[in-house]
Chain A
Amino acid sequence: MINKTDSKVWRSIRAAIQGLTLSSVLIASAVYAGPPTAEVNTTGLAVTDDTVTVGILHSLTGTMAISETGAQEAEKLAIEQINAQGGVLGRQIKYIQEDGASDWPTFAEKAKKLLEENHVAAIFGCWTSASRKAVLPVLERDNGLLYYPTFYEGLEQSKNVVYTGQEATQQVFAGLDWVAKNKNAKTFYLIGSDYIWPRTTMKLARKYIETVLHGKVVGEEYAALGSTQFGSTINKIRLKKPDVIYAAVVGGSNVAWFKQLKAAGINGSKQTLLTLSVTEDEAQGIGGENLKGFYSAMKYFQSLDTPENKAFVAAFKKRWGADAPIGDVTQAAYEGPWLWKAAVEKAGSFDTDKVVKAEESGTITFNAPEGMVYLEPNHHLKTRLRIGEWRDDGQADIVYTSPYIMPNPFPKGY
């Protein structure tokens, strides 16, 4: 594992080389020249006759760097593939990457730079809600475009943001239905990290459990971010003996949480646990042996068996190395550039207002690795939810796929 970093370095070097050769070939073979710049860019964005510049804004350093790596890799892959197909409106996409450094004001700062100095046509980025919240005012002020990949709490809808991850209702309800039916669960224990996403999610879950499933919430609690002491929680769980543990613990706590569960003899064979915060990315850190038999509710799993996904996984591994896990957010991030391309081409212009209009037309779709996704007028995607059962090799078997779920960022009555 010592040479883990070398491999990382190698990956990026290889990536860089490939990137270069790839794009140069493409620029040569750009099929047709698109419409004149004057028409497609009336607001002084960084668009030339044969290129358009976008921004990628993720944490490359700090605590969030790990989680955000996959996302920015996927966005680059998508951009390269789009260029390979001739780009957007006949223009090759160039990207400027900035480091949010896991620090919210830095995100705001960099977003401002991308928009005010580089005049990028769109930004693909952010991961945590906090970083998105920090960037939001900048976007609205400079009328920029953000494609945000993470599944999140909802309760937000900005004309300047497209949310390619699921909002809470999409992730929560269908999953609860499934455990209620298949595990005939009546009692639930809710545990999350202490910040807005888990709290909102659990708020929805509790309401849904009590009113729709007529089940009972026997415990609800929140662990301080980064806390590694779950002894008390586990003891409470043991006394309450819930049918289902419903978890949304994030970051380093996540590892400690599952490890201590295993140590306390609570494992997949004895206890049903449904988590909202474990993708293939986290699974690698937690270790399959600690996850085996537990369930995740996500819209995408790497093991998904469709031609689109097989192609995507292959391309991703080729581009970023075989050991790179592909999680839900990574896939959602991959959708960003494609959806933007579709919107721009529908609008026939890069101007933010026109692109937004296209996005809200309700006709933008993309045949993503996860399957067809539909961009709804409320800036969120209509997608399906999947339940994956974890194997000890850090991959999940998909045991359930829901019908399409309309995004509903402002659920009434919750």
Chain B
Amino acid sequence: MLFGYSFSDLGSILVMQGFSGLSLFSVLLLMALGLAIIFGQMGVINMAHGEFMTIGAYSIYVISKITEQYFPGFMAYYFVVAIIAAFVIAFTVGYFVEFLLIRHLYRRPLDTLLATWGLSLIMQQIFRSVFGGREVSPTLPDWLMGSWAPTPNIDIPINGLFVMLITLVVTAIVILALYKSRWGLKVRATTQNRMMAGAVGINTQKVDRMTFAVGCGVAGIAGAAFTTIASTGPTSGSTYIVDTFLVVVFGGAASLLGTVASAFTISQAQSILTFFMTNAMGKVVTLLAIIVILMLRPEGLFSSKVRK
């Protein structure tokens, strides 16, 4: 016996905790991916990133309502379409935000931080006046609900599995895009040397705008995933922003793989801890650990030393 659980229990605890850690991991990672692209590649602190996630969540909600109203027969499949829509909408908004706001603030990271915070306030208020302050949640297709029980003690929620699937796919796409595609090449070139990139004929402005928009789009997908585990309110996204930033910084701003690794570490640590201590303490301990590690290793866990 340990903590009053039998060892077989502890076994299933580990499985299920590991799993609920994984679903936290999914949301964190999807959020962090977008942020890592924006922060890591462009050095922009996007405090409104959470609100882009919220945009995604509300998109799902709206679409589910529309489907319910007009194409009830389509109910089972709408979610897949909705995810893409969530991406597109968040992407578009991000595109304009970059054009109107961000591009005027490059190389002033601390100022982008303040400006985007202001942006987040405005977006939250827009959500509130459009959708009302009450928490809303889309009607999920039935196949997303319920759970899968390999053993009587172990019980894995389907929506969790689904979210994880999305996460894997998106992560793969983003990483491929960044390291294999022409666009990725331009992005990395621009990050490393804006002037040279410009000199060799890369339209850095365009690259920046795309990068930012893609980052936001991914956040939109995060929102979509989020709706399957919790409800959506005007401030849903903002509750994740700090954790997300820690994930990115912890992973070493520049490297996406680092982001993945750190998202995994953090979410697992948190979920295991919250099982054995109180909710709040679990979180506190995790955050503290991150900060301490960051102090010992400011450049982040997984980034390599670079010549300055």
A and B touch in the complex (CB under 8 A): yes
Show the binding face of A for B, using Cβ within 8 Å: 1-2, 4-5, 8, 63, 65-66, 194, 221-224, 226-229, 231-236, 238-239, 252, 255-256, 259-260, 262-265, 284-287
Residues of A within 8 A of B236 (CB): 228, 252
Contact A255/B16 with A1-B131, A224-B279 known, Cβ cut-off 8 Å: no
Residues of B within 8 A of A8 (CB): 132
Contact A228/B129 with A238-B16, A255-B231 known, Cβ cut-off 8 Å: no
Q: How many pairs of residues, A versus B, come closer than 8 Å at their CB atoms?
A: 117
Q: What is the bound-complex CA distance between A125 and B70, given in angstroms?
A: 42
Chain B, Cβ-Cβ closest to A262: B145
Residues of B within 8 A of A255 (CB): 135, 137, 230-231
14 A–B pairs (Cβ distance < 8 Å), ordered by A: A63-B235, A66-B133, A222-B279, A224-B280, A228-B230, A229-B20, A231-B17, A238-B155, A239-B153, A252-B231, A252-B233, A255-B230, A259-B137, A263-B228
**Interface stretch (choices B99-107, B195-203, B270-278, B287-295):** B270-278
**Interface stretch (choices B5-13, B87-95, B173-181, B182-190):** B5-13
B70 to chain A, nearest CB (A): 14
Q: What is the bound-complex CA distance between A286 and B145, given in angstroms?
A: 15
Inter-subunit contact A231/B134 (CB<8 Å): no
Residues of A within 8 A of B279 (CB): 194, 221-224, 227, 232-233
Inter-subunit contact B230/A2 (CB<8 Å): no
Inter-subunit contact A232/B17 (CB<8 Å): yes
Q: What is the bound-complex CA distance between A66 and B146, given in angstroms?
A: 30
Residues of A within 8 A of B65 (CB): 1
User: For residues 10 through 56 of chain B, which have their beta carbon under 8 Å from a beta carbon of chain A?
Assistant: 12-13, 16-17, 19-21, 23-24
Q: What is the bound-complex CA distance between A194 and B274, given in angstroms?
A: 14
B69 to chain A, nearest CB (A): 10
User: For residues 277 through 303 of chain B, which have their beta carbon under 8 Å from a beta carbon of chain A?
Assistant: 278-280, 283
Q: What is the bound-complex CA distance between A194 and B159, given in angstroms?
A: 27
Q: What is the bound-complex CA distance between A255 and B275, given in angstroms?
A: 21
Q: What is the bound-complex CA distance between A262 and B145, given in angstroms?
A: 7
CB of B157 within 8 Å of the partner chain:
yes
Chain A, Cβ-Cβ closest to B152: A238
CB of B81 within 8 Å of the partner chain:
no
Inter-subunit contact B136/A1 (CB<8 Å): yes
Residues of B within 8 A of A238 (CB): 16, 153, 155
CB of B229 within 8 Å of the partner chain:
yes
Inter-subunit contact A5/B132 (CB<8 Å): yes
Residues of B within 8 A of A228 (CB): 229-231, 236, 239
CB of B130 within 8 Å of the partner chain:
yes
CB of B147 within 8 Å of the partner chain:
yes
Show the binding face of B for A, using Cβ within 8 Å: 5, 9, 12-13, 16-17, 19-21, 23-24, 61-62, 65, 129-137, 145-147, 149, 153, 155, 157-160, 228-231, 233, 235-236, 239, 271, 274-275, 278-280, 283
Inter-subunit contact B229/A259 (CB<8 Å): yes
Inter-subunit contact A63/B133 (CB<8 Å): yes
Inter-subunit contact A285/B275 (CB<8 Å): no
Contact A256/B231 with A4-B132, A232-B20, A264-B147 known, Cβ cut-off 8 Å: yes
Inter-subunit contact B24/A231 (CB<8 Å): yes
Q: What is the bound-complex CA distance between A8 and B131, given in angstroms?
A: 11
Q: What is the bound-complex CA distance between A256 and B215, given in angstroms?
A: 26
User: A222, A228, A229, A255: which has the most chain B beta carbons within 10 Å?
Assistant: A229
Residues of A within 8 A of B20 (CB): 229, 231-232, 234-235
Q: What is the bound-complex CA distance between A8 and B133, given in angstroms?
A: 12
B263 to chain A, nearest CB (A): 14
Q: What is the bound-complex CA distance between A227 and B20, given in angstroms?
A: 14
B44 to chain A, nearest CB (A): 27
A257 to chain B, nearest CB (A): 9
Inter-subunit contact B134/A66 (CB<8 Å): yes
Inter-subunit contact A263/B12 (CB<8 Å): no
Residues of B within 8 A of A1 (CB): 61-62, 65, 131, 136
Interchain residue pairs A-B with the least CB separation, the first 8: A231-B20, A255-B231, A256-B230, A228-B230, A263-B157, A235-B16, A265-B147, A232-B274
Residues of B within 8 A of A287 (CB): 137
Q: What is the bound-complex CA distance between A302 and B102, given in angstroms?
A: 50
A329 to chain B, nearest CB (A): 15
Chain B, Cβ-Cβ closest to A257: B230
Residues of B within 8 A of A233 (CB): 279
Inter-subunit contact A256/B229 (CB<8 Å): yes
Knowing that A228-B230, A231-B17, A259-B229 touch, tell me 19 more A-B residue pairs with CB under 8 angstroms.
Answer: A2-B130, A5-B132, A8-B132, A222-B278, A224-B280, A228-B239, A229-B24, A231-B23, A234-B20, A235-B20, A238-B153, A239-B13, A255-B135, A255-B231, A256-B230, A263-B157, A263-B160, A264-B147, A265-B155
Inter-subunit contact A263/B271 (CB<8 Å): no
Q: What is the bound-complex CA distance between A1 and B64, given in angstroms?
A: 11
Q: What is the bound-complex CA distance between A221 and B278, given in angstroms?
A: 7
A219 to chain B, nearest CB (A): 10
Q: What is the bound-complex CA distance between A255 and B9, given in angstroms?
A: 28
Contact A263/B158 with A226-B239, A228-B229 known, Cβ cut-off 8 Å: yes
Inter-subunit contact A285/B132 (CB<8 Å): no
Inter-subunit contact B283/A224 (CB<8 Å): yes
Inter-subunit contact B231/A259 (CB<8 Å): yes
Chain B, Cβ-Cβ closest to A226: B239
User: A1, A4, A287: which has the most chain B beta carbons within 10 Å?
Assistant: A1
Inter-subunit contact A229/B274 (CB<8 Å): yes
Inter-subunit contact A252/B135 (CB<8 Å): yes
Residues of A within 8 A of B153 (CB): 238-239
Residues of A within 8 A of B12 (CB): 239
Residues of A within 8 A of B280 (CB): 194, 222, 224
